[in-house]
Structure 1
Amino acid sequence: MKKILALLVVVMLFGSCIKEITDTIDKATKTNGVKWSPHIALPLVYSELKVTDILEETGDLKYIRVENDGSLTAIYSDELVSKTAEDIINLTDQNYGETFNLTAGELATLNTNGQVVVSYNRTFDYVFSSDEIDKVHLKTGDIDLSISTTLQHDVSMRMILPEMKKSAIGFDETIAANYSGTLPNQSSSNIDITDYIADFTKTPQGHSQIDATIELTITKQGSNPIGALESVSFTMDLTNQGFHEVHGYFGSDDFSNGIQTLNLSVFNNSSSGSFTIADPRVKLVFENSFGVPIDANIIQFDGTNSSFNTVSLTGYPSPLPIPNLTLADIGQSKRDSFTLDKNNSNLPAYINNRPHENVYEVQVISNPSGPSVRNWFTDDSKLKLIVDIEVPLHGTAKDYEVERRQPFEFELEEADQVEEIMLRLHSENGFPVDIATQIYFEDTTTYTVLDSLLTTDLLIMPAADVDGNGRVNQINPKTIDVVFDAARTDLIMQANRVRIVARFNTTTIGGSQPDVKFYEEYQLLLQLGVQAKLLLNQEL
């Protein structure tokens, strides 16, 4: 928008003129005596402005595309990224434990032989809400083992998990509780299981279970007694789990990211008039790296202009074309897309509403059909939506009005020495657009319009002529002068804000407005000068 306002250079550069005028007056007021009325002329600006200069000042513009015929298309873009699988899937802590009561035979063997080895086979359930887990490659994790016994003898416990492997070697850890005179006899250990791969499919259930072997070795210590009822208890806690990959069935989850807003700043200050784009396009690109069926639908896509008129976009497919991935695609991502244009949607009406605020919401649900296939995720799996709004600079404008307010300050130390200030603007408009403008000087403390730059709205830059194809074939130069006498100068010195209003009309031929295109070579030449007529005193 900054460069669009550059088209209103009379106002934008007026502030830069002030310093030149003030410096000149300061020099002149150092002399006294005889009065005369010189004219001091200062060339201030020589500028060439292209269409690309205007567009590149809109902060949300992604890029400008030059088409094969040299015409221009502005691309506005927004990107919506879902939460990652790591953010959504929480591998909850798993807690296991049991107390083993030694049989009379086992205690007799210990007493006779001085040692007894007892093994137990168990199947541990992996509790994962109502979901099912098949395999997990752990990025982080710990196993906390502990044993506690009533025996006044040395006890070791070996925990074997053959389907939890690292570098093809199963988990196999031993913890020892050597009797030191205190009961209960206890010990604990923490084992890092980073990069282990646990397979929970090797039991008859086929998911969410893992087999374990627990081996107790009890070694008699001296003549310490052996009671008739002796026991060994253990706990095993699986904690702090993060994953590189996780496989299973994970139910129906909502991956939606809520309402999003895309601002088109080129429309921010438009207030009235009509504006048409011949062939706007909206392209939605979906990038998926989830190994799970996805159902996505647009819940809302509304564009609101500065007059608070809202148009809802229609024509998009339901459901949206989200690519599905198989197990062979793990770690990859796939893309699919669709494009809305004037032939399959109400997009022209949507864009011609001048929607500076575009609000959209996409609902994303996994496994919409239930457990039809097994799922997989990597820690970084996500769904990405890219919205590209393509605005070809090809269309019409009729009394299309842009308005902006900005602070203003104009001070002259020797204001009584100013008899007259004149600004001269020479333009050579290579755009097929008439530009009329008015600038109001306002006092916000009294809500008063003190003066205006021009006595009437003035066509300061006439449109260039176009041929039958809507392409510029002749530039129309124009020179205008704006004069501020002492009284008007005094008024604008009281202003603290300016309101800039510009009205645009594309070229009219035979009473009608053909669609015009903006081409890469189009440019606007601006020359601005200031002439100050001063009252000076000098003593001879």
Structure 2
Amino acid sequence: MKIRLPHIIAYSLCAIVLHSCTEDYFDFDKLKVEPINPELALPLINSSLSPADIFTAEEDIEVLKTDQDGLITIFYNSDAFSIDTKSIFELKNQEYSDKVTLNNVEVIALPIQGTITKSYNTSYPFENGNNTRLDSMIVKSGLLKCNLVSSFQHGGNVKITFPTFKANGVPFSFNLPINYNGNIPVYSNSSISLENFKIETSQGSSNQIPVNYELTLNYSGQPISSSDSIGITIQTENLEFDSFYGYAGQQSISFPEDTLLLNLFKNAIGGTFNLAEPKLFIQTINEFGVPLELSFSKFDATTTNSGVIPMQLAQNPISINAPSTPGDSATTTIILDKNNSNIPAVISALPKNFIYDFSVLTNPNGDVQQNFVQYSNEAKAKIDLELPLVGSVNRYALVDTLDFNFDDAGDLVKSAIFRTNITNSFPVDANLQIYFTTQDHVILDSLFDGSKQVIQSSTVDFLGKTISPNNLTIDTKVDEFTLKNIFNSEKIIIKADMSTSNAGQTIVRFYDYYRLDVKLGLKAKFNIEID
């Protein structure tokens, strides 16, 4: 608010002159000019501090919630982490190589029979690191690539069957032709999409993928030897799953340090605020069928009064529940309150933020239960601070700053009285002082003698709720030295520190309609010389 007295004075003088004009005044020979000493009453500031002004920053007004009676609860929340499927478990490409040969009996039989068929059954381990175990999965996307290299100078075919790779319940098989045209080696390859396939490991051999080869050779009349062979390479590429069952392994997932910023006491410069029921919630929602463990290596509060205060956690590490059925989720909630933590002391010290650093461990107890993971699953955590404004206040100090400018009116003021009207509906006593400062907040003078003016609390009922406000009017006559400082000021700072009764021990309640209204007016007598 800008206050420019020369404009007000000019309007006032015009009113005085116009009111005094008669026809004789147009005879300038009769005009006699006397000094003018008007006395004006001017409003200077009108400040109204609400609970939002006192307890939160302007940008955080939405954190104040009220019940049906207007009782205020302050909420802050922060998303601590979010873990997607690939953070929990990600499939690695598998690669297997094998060789099929003929024994001496089969070498002798081929020229005689003209065609021979040989079966070769084996299995390959599903290797995904971290002691992972695959029981079954539904494939979302990915390819199966097979490459064949034959040194046989004979044509034929290799049929490859994956008994536990099933599409629509049917085991998957395909053929790799051996097209001999007089040159060796003979190459053959195939690439097959595995989308929507169900893949299982063999029941009798844990974490093994069975593969059956069936080699058919047609005699071409060329030589044949037991050293001839067919080399086969099988690879998966870009394999992703819709659902996975097995054991996802044990791994630690680290997160960068994070901060829950509190503007709760941004306007406060000191004092304590002892809340009766502050609570801090750590809540996780886990959609993975994988037990998790949340460990905090750091959870500190940075406070106005006491520097850094480590939080005392009721549990650390925190076991995070897992759902028992795919598609469900499990919620784990840890509540820190006055009974199991130091949260009351932390809030009393006027925290600016909470800083935390943590990690999440999958399967903390090892392979003790079957895991399930779906592609769209996630696990997330949030940290919520809930502060019902029921408690006591002791010398809780706050400030409000207003623009103020007398321009060049100082030389015109002969004397002045400042009138301060105060209405206090807060259930706290307040010590008030009004400072006049430069643009850079350097204090030039203050309005009240002594340290501060005492404002009495509102009248409250047995619950600590205001039933009637307290009103106070203060007239302050200022001397010339103080006037000079006031005229040179550019800002007004209103400072109040508040306490509940009994030396800040009485429990009271704060409602959204409470106000501390401060109105400052100036009654000034001006000395104006007219040349």
TM-score by length of 1: 0.76
Mapped to 1, the partners of 2:375 and 2:520 lie a distance apart of: 60
Deviation at 1:22, TM superposition (A): 8.4
2:13 pairs with 1:17:
no
- 8 Å Cα contact 2:424-2:515 kept in structure 1: yes
Q: 1:360 aligns with which of 356, 381, 406?
A: 356
Query: Could you tell which deviates more after superposition, 309-318 or 353-362?
Result: 309-318
Mapped to 2, the partners of 1:182 and 1:499 lie a distance apart of: 98
Q: 1:475 aligns with which of 469, 472, 478?
A: 469
Mapped to 2, the partners of 1:257 and 1:152 lie a distance apart of: 59
Q: 1:284 aligns with which of 278, 282, 285?
A: 282
User: Alpha-carbon deviations, 1:451-470, whole Å to 9, x = none?
Assistant: 24646554496542323432
Mapped to 1, the partners of 2:426 and 2:78 lie a distance apart of: 29
- The 1:437–1:416 alpha-carbon spacing in structure 2 relative to 1, beyond 3 Å, is closer
Deviation at 1:88, TM superposition (A): 3.4
Mapped to 2, the partners of 1:183 and 1:38 lie a distance apart of: 118
- The 1:153–1:275 alpha-carbon spacing in structure 2 relative to 1, beyond 3 Å, is same
Secondary structure of 1:356's partner? strand
2:78 pairs with 1:78:
yes
- 8 Å Cα contact 1:286-1:321 kept in structure 2: no
1:470 maps to amino acid: G
The aligned counterpart of 2:96 is 96
The aligned counterpart of 2:119 is 119
2:163 pairs with 1:195:
no
The aligned counterpart of 2:247 is 249
The aligned counterpart of 2:25 is none
Query: Any gaps of 5 or more consecutive residues in structure 2?
Result: 15-32
Q: 2:222 aligns with which of 215, 220, 225?
A: 225
The aligned counterpart of 1:388 is 384
2:203 pairs with 1:209:
no
2:507 maps to amino acid: D
Deviation at 1:198, TM superposition (A): 1.2
Deviation at 1:185, TM superposition (A): 1.9
Mapped to 2, the partners of 1:109 and 1:363 lie a distance apart of: 64
Mapped to 2, the partners of 1:70 and 1:535 lie a distance apart of: 51
Mapped to 1, the partners of 2:72 and 2:298 lie a distance apart of: 30
The aligned counterpart of 1:519 is 511
Mapped to 2, the partners of 1:78 and 1:529 lie a distance apart of: 45
2:222 maps to amino acid: P
- The 1:459–1:215 alpha-carbon spacing in structure 2 relative to 1, beyond 3 Å, is farther
- The 1:458–1:293 alpha-carbon spacing in structure 2 relative to 1, beyond 3 Å, is same
User: Alpha-carbon deviations, 1:89-134, whole Å to 9, x = none?
Assistant: 2322211112222345555665566654433211111112233222
2:2 maps to amino acid: C
- 8 Å Cα contact 2:459-2:466 kept in structure 1: yes
1:225 maps to amino acid: Q
Query: Could you tell which deviates more after superposition, 415-424 or 356-365?
Result: 415-424
Query: Could you tell which deviates more after superposition, 162-171 or 312-321?
Result: 312-321
User: Alpha-carbon deviations, 1:54-89, whole Å to 9, x = none?
Assistant: 667465677444347652221222232242342232
Deviation at 1:181, TM superposition (A): 5.8
Secondary structure of 1:351's partner? helix
- 8 Å Cα contact 1:431-1:464 kept in structure 2: yes
Secondary structure of 1:164's partner? strand
- 8 Å Cα contact 1:74-1:390 kept in structure 2: yes
2:425 maps to amino acid: G
How many residues are aligned here? 504
- The 1:295–1:182 alpha-carbon spacing in structure 2 relative to 1, beyond 3 Å, is same
TM-score by length of 2: 0.77
Structure number with greater Rg is: 2
- 8 Å Cα contact 1:401-1:501 kept in structure 2: no
Identity of aligned residues (%): 26
The aligned counterpart of 2:139 is 138
Query: Could you tell which deviates more after superposition, 314-323 or 529-538?
Result: 529-538
- 8 Å Cα contact 1:131-1:250 kept in structure 2: yes
Secondary structure of 1:350's partner? helix
Mapped to 2, the partners of 1:237 and 1:295 lie a distance apart of: 35
2:260 maps to amino acid: L
2:370 maps to amino acid: R
2:94 maps to amino acid: Q
2:257 pairs with 1:265:
no
1:100 maps to amino acid: V
Mapped to 1, the partners of 2:433 and 2:69 lie a distance apart of: 32
2:91 maps to amino acid: L
- The 1:211–1:399 alpha-carbon spacing in structure 2 relative to 1, beyond 3 Å, is same
- The 1:204–1:525 alpha-carbon spacing in structure 2 relative to 1, beyond 3 Å, is same
Query: Could you tell which deviates more after superposition, 358-367 or 145-154?
Result: 358-367
Query: Could you tell which deviates more after superposition, 169-178 or 109-118?
Result: 109-118
Mapped to 2, the partners of 1:25 and 1:174 lie a distance apart of: 103
2:372 pairs with 1:376:
yes
- 8 Å Cα contact 2:396-2:499 kept in structure 1: no
Q: 1:504 aligns with which of 497, 500, 517?
A: 497
- 8 Å Cα contact 2:299-2:310 kept in structure 1: yes
Mapped to 2, the partners of 1:218 and 1:479 lie a distance apart of: 112
- 8 Å Cα contact 2:72-2:388 kept in structure 1: yes
- The 1:157–1:512 alpha-carbon spacing in structure 2 relative to 1, beyond 3 Å, is closer
2:397 maps to amino acid: E
- 8 Å Cα contact 2:57-2:263 kept in structure 1: no
**Root mean square deviation of aligned Cα:** 4.3
Mapped to 2, the partners of 1:313 and 1:525 lie a distance apart of: 37
Mapped to 1, the partners of 2:359 and 2:496 lie a distance apart of: 41
- 8 Å Cα contact 1:70-1:519 kept in structure 2: yes
Deviation at 1:153, TM superposition (A): 4.7
Mapped to 1, the partners of 2:2 and 2:265 lie a distance apart of: 29
- The 1:230–1:317 alpha-carbon spacing in structure 2 relative to 1, beyond 3 Å, is closer
